Structure 1
Amino acid sequence: MAGKRMTVADLRAAKGQRKLSMLYVETLDEAAAASAAGADVLSIIAPLWTREMREAAGDCFVQVGLLYGELITAEDYLRAGFAARAVGGDAYYCGASLDTVARMSAEGLPVVGHVGLVPSKATWTGGFKAVGKTASSALKVWADMCALEKAGAVAVELEVVPARVGAELSRRSPLVTFGMGAGSGTDAQYLFAEDVLGCTRGHKPRHAKTYRNFRAEYERLQGERLAAFAEFVADVQAGAYPGAEHDVSVDDAEFAGFLEGLNHG
């Protein structure tokens, strides 16, 4: 939707009509590149959400991640949500209770929930592995989605569930599904920029796809950085820096007057 920033109404209207692209970004350069590339949705955590980020994100619909665990009460989430909206957020990720989701929704804040593999709550589903591989587990994901819908959420991150389960959940729910490792049947395909760029920190998930090798480029740049710093240190130690071309000049007469003043001070 180049040239027109999506609203929640646009996001909902796109469900079942076209596939959305979504990226988690952390820097101004990443946000600007994602916008220029035509990404539909960006996910940016609240500590990184600034007016500069909003500008860099361009026409992208931005989900601002309100950090679960740093925020506790519904009032915490409401204040953080309104603060993020003031900067230009479009929707707000909330991993807190259904009561908190309902409170935010009642105040007109568009909420994005999270089901399936939820990293902050993975201990309840057996750790960092797929969820929904049994009928009962898949039905629990469906129940969680229905509960979020009832609480007023507008979208949901659907993470690491079998592709057929993801497609069926997305088809049956009015929630816009941001799929991460949930197959091609979700409404949006969501990846982290670091995985796309090939500079993943830690474990690279199965669903990640790498399009460039930034890690090699970063390593090359680090080598160049070290070499440049070492040359600077060597120049200082050898007296080669600074050279005459780096010095500020002073008129001879003025310098003589300065010395005279020092000598008679």
Structure 2
Amino acid sequence: MARLTVRDLLDARGKHQFAMLRVETIEEAEAAAKAGVELLSVPPSMILDGRFREVAPDCFALPGDNFYEIGGTEDFLRWAFPLYKHGADGFYCSGSLDTIRAMADHGLPVCGHVGLIPSKRTWTGGFKAVGKTLETAQLVWQQVRAAEEAGAFAVEIEVVPHSITRAIAERTTLFLISMGAGAAGHAQYLFSDDVLGQNRGRIPRHAKVYADFAAEHDRLQAMRIEAMGRFARDVHEGDYPTPQFLVDCESEVVEAFRDWLDRMT
């Protein structure tokens, strides 16, 4: 399969539901690609790792970080250009509309963020749905329109009532990446930590857990402790190292070496 383009995503709106995951390691990226996940949100450093495109050659990759980790408009541009050169397909941007506009003006595909924006949650009341009232639903629509007018090709729409998302999807040209915002989004987005059951904290309502890696990590940790404990006991009790773990040399060499040491000391 050829690598997806922005045009492919926009043309597929309403025709195909895309799967999207946030992955944090090369191993997760490889697993997602082999599993048929088409869109990947990745740490910026992963784009610069040559192994990434070896394991996920066809995935549409969106590197992203919070705006306060990157800075202002010029900082975003300096951040994005090397990533684009190394194979990024687009860029998540929770920065200003001016930043989205500047990136789009340079031909960089930009994905904005609307609804619950975790890095800006203080403005909408914390970690909770946005759009359950007329006023906040209007806010989400205004955010979508502003991102569209600034030149974004997509927005992540997070924890918005699915009926509101559907009404917005009918009226925007953007590619909507739904995180807990319903099936009217054009891609469904989760974090691999949640999908794999690695998250030990609060699991978001929209996150579906498909595995129990936390229990497996606990099992492996117990194995580590048990194995390391047996090693420590063997050392303390003189049971390690035993002859099968040692190398030696001919007795004549040892004797000659001792004689030499006696003369030298």
| TM-score when normalising by structure 2 | 0.94
CA distance in structure 1 between the partners assigned to 2:234 and 2:48 by the alignment: 40
2:139 is aligned to 140
* C-alpha contact (below 8 Å) 1:6/1:61 kept by paired residues: yes
**Is 2:66 the counterpart of 1:37?**
no
1:11 is aligned to 9
2:156 is aligned to 157
Write the deviation string for residues 25-76 of structure 1: whole angstroms up to 9, x where unpaired.
1112111100100101011122454323343333211110033111222111
2:122 is aligned to 123
2:113 is aligned to 114
Write the deviation string for residues 166-211 of structure 1: whole angstroms up to 9, x where unpaired.
1221232111111001011110000111111112142111101011
Deviates more, 1:83-92 or 1:37-46: 83-92
**What SS is found at the alignment partner of 1:63?**
strand
CA distance in structure 2 between the partners assigned to 1:243 and 1:86 by the alignment: 55
* Number of residue-to-residue matches in the alignment: 263
CA distance in structure 1 between the partners assigned to 2:94 and 2:195 by the alignment: 25
Q: 2:21 aligns with which of 5, 20, 23?
A: 23
User: What is the deviation of 1:83?
Assistant: 2.2
Paired residue type of 1:87:
H
> CA RMSD for the aligned pairs?
1.5
* C-alpha contact (below 8 Å) 2:162/2:182 kept by paired residues: yes
**What SS is found at the alignment partner of 2:195?**
helix
Percent of paired sites with the same residue? 46
CA distance in structure 1 between the partners assigned to 2:238 and 2:121 by the alignment: 58
**What SS is found at the alignment partner of 1:70?**
helix
2:228 is aligned to 229
Write the deviation string for residues 201-247 of structure 1: whole angstroms up to 9, x where unpaired.
42111101011111111111111111111111111111212222222
CA distance in structure 2 between the partners assigned to 1:81 and 1:233 by the alignment: 49
CA distance in structure 2 between the partners assigned to 1:74 and 1:11 by the alignment: 26
1:264 is aligned to 263
CA distance in structure 1 between the partners assigned to 2:256 and 2:235 by the alignment: 31
Write the deviation string for residues 129-158 of structure 1: whole angstroms up to 9, x where unpaired.
111112221121111111111111111100
* C-alpha contact (below 8 Å) 1:199/1:214 kept by paired residues: yes
| TM-score when normalising by structure 1 | 0.94
1:255 is aligned to 254
